[in-house]
Amino acid sequence: MCLVFVCDEEERVLAQQQAPGSCPYCGGAVMATDVESAWRLCFLPICFRVKRRFHCTLCSRRLVTYP
């Protein structure tokens, strides 16, 4: 039996920039944020993942894009 415990998930903002388009809820500007997340097993880094997240600058809602 193998048990894996993830002790910590650390997130770091790499960059922010204005994205094209507007918020469908309030019409505000959309910001794109690149976030790097690192999963750690006590002290050893296991996985690094970079994600792009979108949010509105007026209503602060997180926006989801569909492919």
Contact 14, 3 (CB under 8 A): no
Domain assignment present for residue 1? The answer is no
Domain assignment present for residue 3? The answer is no
User: pTM for the complete prediction?
Assistant: 0.71
pLDDT tens digit sequence for 21-59: 999 999 999 999 999 988 877 767 777 889 999 999 999
45 CB-near residues (< 8 Å, 6+ apart): 38, 39
Distance CA 13, CA 35 (A): 5
Integer angstrom CA distances of residue 48 from 14, 16, 33, 36, 40:
13, 19, 16, 7, 9
Neighbours of 30 (CB within 10 A): 19
Domain assignment present for residue 2? The answer is no
Q: Does residue 12 register a pLDDT over 60?
A: yes
Total domains in the chain come to 1
Domain assignment present for residue 16? The answer is yes
Domain that holds residue 15: 8-63
